[in-house]
Every structure is written in C-alpha cells, then in structure tokens.
Chain A
C-alpha cells in the first residue's frame, strides 16, 4: 500500500517536495553552523579517521554516553536509552521503507520481503518503548525535577519531547491501518495487529480505512520531516554534533590543553569566539544540556560563579551572535569574556575552575570545558596581564626562582639534609626522584619526600635527585594560563633531563607526574614517568618490599586526587598498596574514583584565595568526616595541604590525621 502513489503525480510531488524542503532547511542550517564552526582556529592534527569512525559509531550504537552516567541515584539515562535505541531503528526504517519504498513507489514489492516483515515486527516493540521512555523523561523533567535539570523546564525541551512522543504513535497508526486495509507486512508483532482489529471494527468501509492509512502515513512523514528540520535548529542537534564531537575528539595525552604557537598571537589566548579552535566551537553546539557537568563541578557545587554547562552555552550563544559579523570581517558585538549576560563568560567564572576534570569525565558528548576555560585564562594573563592579585607573586616567584614560594633554589635539597641521597647521574643511578616544589619546600610535605626516600632505599632501588638544580614543573602556571612562562620552564626541564640522561622518573606529586608525562609529551618527551603510588605497587608485586599491615591507623579513608585518577586513570594502585599496608581495603568516600571530588587546590588554586561560597576543601573534608575515619590517605602534596587545612578549620585535628600513601607504607615497612 502506498499513499504516495495513490495520489499519483501529486503524491510524488508532495512527498519529494516536502522531503526536499525539510532536507533543505536541515542542510541550510548545517551549512550555516559549519561556516560558524570553521571560523575557529585550526586545531592539533589528529589521524586514524577510519578507526575513530568505527569507535564513534560503536559509541552511538551502544549509547556509551548514557552508560557513563547511569547511577543508582540518577537513572535519567535509562529513558534516553529507550528513546535513542528506538530512534536508531526508526532512522533505518525511514530510509528503506519510506524513502525508498514509498518514495519510489515500490512499497508493494518491499512489503512482501522477509526483511520488511522482521523489521516491522521489531518496530512493533520499539515504538511503545520510545513512548514509555519519553513519558518517563517528561515526568522526570517537569514533575520530579532533579537538581541536575534545575531551570531546564524550557519550552524547547517540551516541544522536543512531544515530537519524540508523537512520531512512534503515528507510525503505529500507519501500520495498524495498513493491516486493517488488508496489506499486512510479512511479519507482525502484537501491538499493531491488535490495533488493526480495533480499526476494522470501527470502520468496515475499505475506502475509509485507506483514507485513515493515508492520514497516518502523511502525518507520520510530515512529523519526521519537522523533526529533521528541528534537528538543525534545536538541542536535537546533539544527535549529529555529539557523534561528530566523539569522532573528532582530541587525541591523548588526556588532561592537557593545546600548546600555543609563539609566532601566532591569535593562539595566545581566547577573548573572541573565533580564537577558539574549531573543535571547541563544535563542542559548544554539541551540548545536550544534560547538566551532568554542573552536578559534579566543585566550583558550581560550592557556590562559585562557574557552571561548566553555562560556559559552553555562552560560547555557543556568543558564536551564534557574533558569527555573522565576524564572517563579514566586522567586529564582534558581544564580548566573550565579561559580564553576566548570556553569551559572555564572567571573569570570576574563568578563575574559579580547579581543572579537576569532573565535567569532562561525565560529559556524554566529550566536551572539554576546562581547556576552553584555560584558553580564556591565557587571554587574560598573556594578552592583558589581568589576573587575581595573589597570582603576581606566584608568577614572579616561579619565573625568578622556579618555585611558587620564591624560596632560594639553593634550599631545594634541604629536605634531605638528614639522610643520604645521591645526585642523579646517568649510568650510576637508575631512577630520578623528582621531588617537586611542595615536597622540597613545604614543611609537612617534606615528610612525604623522606618517606619515599626510605621506601626506595628499603627496596634497594638505585635513585638520585637533582638537588638544587631541580626546577618547578610548571603545572600551576600552565593551568592558570601562563603558557609563555610554562613553555620556557618545560623547555628548560626537558633540556636538563636530556643532558643528564634521565630516562625513568619517579614523582611525589600527581601534578608533577601529569606534567612531566603528558604535558611534556607535547614537546616530544618520552621518558617513563611513574607516580609513587604505582611505583610502590610494582615494588610490592615484585616482592621487593615487605609490609607488615600496620594496625594503628584506625579506619582509613582514601581520597582520589584528580591528576592521578581522572586525568590519568590511576585508581587501583593506591588502593592495592593501601590494602597491603593496612591489611584490609580502605574505606571509600561517597564521591570516589572517577567521580571523586577535588580537594580544591588544582588548576593553580593552591595559590589563590577562595572567598566566594563554601571552601571546596571544607566540602570535601565534611564528606570525609561523615565516614568517621581515623586516617585519611592522600597521594598528593596539594591534597595533603587542603585536607590538613580543612581539618584544622573544622576543628577535627584531634580525631583525624592525614597521611600520604608513602608515609603509610614507610610506617609499615618491616
């Protein structure tokens, strides 16, 4: 049965005319967006397109984006699974059984094929699933209103959900009337045959039934075409942009912003939307406004001006607003960095990010919020020299004396004045123990350095230090947008490591670890960098360390640091080592592993004031204290400082101690 050919030439003109119109609208907008996105700067190169395409397609089919975020607390993703999987079936159906079958007048032939039969059978189940999924989504968004969707009860969302709800219904109407009209497809499910019986009871006249079929067919197709047009203009766009964003994802190293090109001032920082890389602009149109990012963001949670979702929204709004002017080589009309207006990112928000990576971890469409924020910091620091006052000292000290405090570099080896250490010398020492500024200068964190030294000696490792020649790794400067100085620090370090024949590096601090490993990788460095948690795990595995399961630490709670966990995927090593050292698995915090909550020191915040909202370390320490631990185990000197400060502020110092993993291991050495 073919309602198109039934109308003769008029039917075909109508069918193809409407289809071409919708496709035209879709393509027009697609082209417009393409033009806008291509205003962006060229990005880093990426290869392996075929492999990427398969991965991205696989992700769409299995809906990885949803599985990332379905938790016991938040099952919102399940409704999306129903809809998305259903939609995938529908898209295939439209193509073969409407466009080809009806559009080319061969439906009578195709209806008799087995494949059509199977497909209709499947669709009979798929359609109700979409309806259930959508009703669920509507109830969640408009009645339950979870925090993640706060303020997201928009008309746009409702219209989208209603179209999602209606199109499977029109499909069912179409099939049911087709069966009633005596043209059953070769395979049938349960729903449509039942409905067709009802239709047959209602109308006995074959012509009336044919008319109804025609009605359902056309309304179904028109609905589909309306959705096609809507995809380009509404949040529906994520179906395409999200998949593209996955396909064109930046290649690892994970957790690092792009380098700048010192010959190209437009790469020094972003204050105009066309200074973003095109990939970042694609990010902005991919957002599905799911709110997962704002729900995990430590800055947003503690009442700072920053909400990663809004940053992405503002970039998009700014692009849509300024794009047409920029295309015509005119000045933008809406500032990218500035006030509270939609389309401008407030400076305060730009400075509030700890680069914890939470947002990027949960974002279903792989948006990289933090690096976009860093690009705007780069503009403020590098083009305007405008930044929170307290950072001036940090910048000057790091540039002048290669440590954040501005302590004399000659004091770098003081932490080791009571023990015997060797200078690193290729051939004579195997590993470089890169102590880092905190481990070398900070009184509390020097104990961690000593603990690591003890462990290395106990395991008979051949190691050395750079002593007073060691330089800062530059992590804070880079995350604060001071790329120019970072660039020089990185080059100095790399040169020194190369000159001295460094091949294997053990670090105390996850920030040094990440920087030496991933950031310097962008400069071609390819040495082996190991954080002490992983190194100690290796030593235990090789039976080079014997631990006695220290008993007097009480209940031990573990905190995942962002630059070890989320940015580098190291979750198991500290847990395994702890289990060996204390003889039982550590207690987990409520927010742990890849959903861990930042201590508040990352992204240069170690050196910044925190005057707005609740202090991030208080939020985290409160969460820790709820588990009533005796010991909190950290793996990072910054986490150490933030936890100790937080515990002091909350007057819990009598009950709880903070120890680094290395200190716990050193205590448990036999």
Chain B
C-alpha cells in the first residue's frame, strides 16, 4: 500500500524582498526550499511507512529544479519520487494544481493501492490551503484537514483515526481509507538525513512525468486551466506605526520609550 506525500517547492520567503517600486516579489536569486508544512507531511508519511510498512512516495508539481527538493525527500527515506513537470503546467492555480496531482495519484493507484495522501496545511507562498482538499474532492477520498496527530490506522477495517487541531479544541475523527490528510506543523518534528541515505539519494532516479506521459487536456492544466487571475500583488501601505528609538544600539532606552508610548495611547495601564 502507498502513502503519498505532496510537497511543493517554494521560494525561501524569509529571503524574498518586495520591490519597493513595483510592489512585486523579487524572486531573483532567492533559494528554493520545501514548503515548511510539507516537510511535516513528508515526515508523517515516513512515520507511517516505519509503523505500517507502507511504501512512501513523494510527488510534486513544479519546475525541473524541484528535483533538488525531491532528492532531499529520498534522503530522508522516501522510496520513490515523482515530479510532474511540463511547461504547460506553469501558472496553475489551485484548481489546475489539484487536477494534475490527483491525476498523478490515480496513476500511482493503478500500480499499487493508495492508503493515504498527506499534504501540508498550506504553502508559504500561495497560502490558499486549497490543494489538499481539492485532491480529496477530485479523488473522492476522505478529507481530513488540520490534523495534528494520526492516532490509528486500521488496515483491516480500512479506517484511519486522527486528531484535528481547531481553535481552542481538538476533534477526534475517524474516516474510511483512502484518505487525504492535511497536517499542521505540530504533528511531528521532521527527521534529519543520514549520510548514507543522502549519498544514495544522489544516485536514485526521480521519475519526471511530463504531459506527454500524463496526457491531460491542455485546457485543464496550467495557466489555461486556471480560472484564478492574479490582478496585482502588492504590500499594503503601513497606515499606522512608527519606529521608536534605536533598538539595536540602545535596547533599554527603546523599550522604555515603547512602554511610555503605549501607556500614553492607553494601550497599557500602569
């Protein structure tokens, strides 16, 4: 049985700067990383592999350089990596992305039964948190979001029991397999790769599935298949707020100034 982790490669947003003139992101020279939530999704898939003996697969849709991120997944113990990469997939929104991913999962399911698809809760660049649910809907899988613990997988009864982390409460939910599980970061601590695994991952093939292979209608993928239109990206003007004192060199004074100002503005009471 397969457990499939969906991993997106995203720009390292701590290093993304906004161009002050155009208001757009300066992506040039910014390194790519695995979407942080997805490192937890991946880790959870590996834990399920360790515990239940699933075969772990990682899939991603993205440009060819995503191979680097997928190799890291292989170094952590994933058995197989599949990259969906084709020019026609570019510019996809959540609808088109979930379509291609779901189609890829279908192909994998033809080879071996899929138990679970694990996604991150959201990405740090698109931030929509829609792709996971999109996949579940398209494949008609159980949809378990905001999961912070997988409590039990019952392979005989084909059921999974998870805990969902909601505001101020937890929810324990049981659902039939196959299931799509979108995880929050608290679910686990990602592992670190060993050197032999890193070396092995360097010589393991990443399957690259282009659209010739996938054979999906072009009007349903990429920009063409995306009803979302990005009109403008901009950073909101700072309406309020000011920089008080010189925190770097005189932190004490700056802190005093801050407290005084907050008291003046009636935000703090003495």
Contact of B33 among A389, A400, A410 (CB under 8 A): A400
B195 beta carbon closer than 8 Å to chain A: yes
Task: Give A265's nearest chain B residue, CB to CB.
Answer: B196
What 0/1 readout, one digit per residue, does chain B (23-36) give for beta carbons within 8 Å of chain A? 00000000101000
Q: Which of B9-17, B116-124, B161-169 lies at the binding interface?
A: B9-17
Task: Give A384's nearest chain B residue, CB to CB.
Answer: B194
In angstroms, Cα B192 to Cα A387, docked, is 10
In angstroms, Cα B15 to Cα A89, docked, is 71
A568 beta carbon closer than 8 Å to chain B: no
Shortest Cβ gap from B202 to chain A (Å): 10
Chain B interface (Cβ within 8 Å of chain A)?
12, 14-15, 17, 31, 33, 189-196, 198-199, 248
Q: Are A385 and B193 in contact (CB under 8 A)?
A: yes
Q: Are A410 and B17 in contact (CB under 8 A)?
A: yes
Give chain B residues whose Cβ lies under 8 Å from the Cβ of A189: none
Give chain B residues whose Cβ lies under 8 Å from the Cβ of A484: 195, 198
Q: Are B15 and A385 in contact (CB under 8 A)?
A: no
Chain A stretch 249-298: residues in CB contact (< 8 A) with chain B: 262, 265, 268
Give chain A residues whose Cβ lies under 8 Å from the Cβ of B193: 385
Give chain B residues whose Cβ lies under 8 Å from the Cβ of A265: 195-196
Q: Are A383 and B196 in contact (CB under 8 A)?
A: yes
In angstroms, Cα B39 to Cα A396, docked, is 12
Q: Are A385 and B192 in contact (CB under 8 A)?
A: yes
Give chain A residues whose Cβ lies under 8 Å from the Cβ of B189: 389, 392
Q: Are A382 and B33 in contact (CB under 8 A)?
A: no
In angstroms, Cα B259 to Cα A405, docked, is 28
Chain A interface (Cβ within 8 Å of chain B)?
262, 265, 268, 381-385, 387, 389, 392, 395-396, 400-401, 406-410, 443, 484
List of 3 A-B pairs having minimum Cβ-Cβ separation, nearest first:
A382-B195, A385-B192, A408-B15
Q: Are B17 and A268 in contact (CB under 8 A)?
A: no
Q: Are B194 and A400 in contact (CB under 8 A)?
A: no
Contact of A383 among B14, B15, B194, B248 (CB under 8 A): B194
Q: Are A262 and B199 in contact (CB under 8 A)?
A: yes
Q: Are A383 and B192 in contact (CB under 8 A)?
A: no
Give chain A residues whose Cβ lies under 8 Å from the Cβ of B33: 400
Q: Are B191 and A385 in contact (CB under 8 A)?
A: yes
Q: Are B196 and A268 in contact (CB under 8 A)?
A: yes
Shortest Cβ gap from B30 to chain A (Å): 9
| Apart from A268-B196, A392-B189, A392-B190, 6 more pairs, CB < 8 Å | A384-B194, A385-B193, A385-B194, A410-B15, A443-B248, A484-B198
In angstroms, Cα B15 to Cα A384, docked, is 31
The answer to whether A401 and B194 touch (CB under 8 A), given A262-B199, A392-B189, is no
Q: Are A409 and B15 in contact (CB under 8 A)?
A: yes
Task: Give B13's nearest chain A residue, CB to CB.
Answer: A408
Most buried by A among B14, B192, B194: B192
Q: Are A382 and B17 in contact (CB under 8 A)?
A: no
Give chain A residues whose Cβ lies under 8 Å from the Cβ of B191: 385
Most buried by A among B14, B189, B198: B14
Task: Give A268's nearest chain B residue, CB to CB.
Answer: B195
Shortest Cβ gap from A392 to chain B (Å): 6
Give chain A residues whose Cβ lies under 8 Å from the Cβ of B192: 381, 385, 387, 392, 395-396
In angstroms, Cα B12 to Cα A392, docked, is 18
Give chain A residues whose Cβ lies under 8 Å from the Cβ of B15: 401, 408-410
Shortest Cβ gap from A628 to chain B (Å): 25
Q: Are A408 and B14 in contact (CB under 8 A)?
A: yes
In angstroms, Cα B248 to Cα A384, docked, is 40
Q: Are A400 and B31 in contact (CB under 8 A)?
A: yes
Task: Give B31's nearest chain A residue, CB to CB.
Answer: A400
Most buried by A among B189, B194, B195: B195
Give chain B residues whose Cβ lies under 8 Å from the Cβ of A396: 192
Task: Give A443's nearest chain B residue, CB to CB.
Answer: B248
Give chain B residues whose Cβ lies under 8 Å from the Cβ of A401: 12, 14-15, 31
In angstroms, Cα B193 to Cα A395, docked, is 11
Q: Are A383 and B195 in contact (CB under 8 A)?
A: yes
Q: Are B12 and A400 in contact (CB under 8 A)?
A: yes
Most buried by B among A262, A381, A484: A484
Give chain A residues whose Cβ lies under 8 Å from the Cβ of B190: 392
Q: List 12 A-B contacts (CB under 8 A).
A: A382-B194, A384-B194, A385-B192, A387-B192, A400-B12, A400-B33, A401-B15, A401-B31, A406-B14, A408-B14, A408-B15, A443-B248
Task: Give B247's nearest chain A residue, CB to CB.
Answer: A443
Give chain A residues whose Cβ lies under 8 Å from the Cβ of B14: 401, 406-408
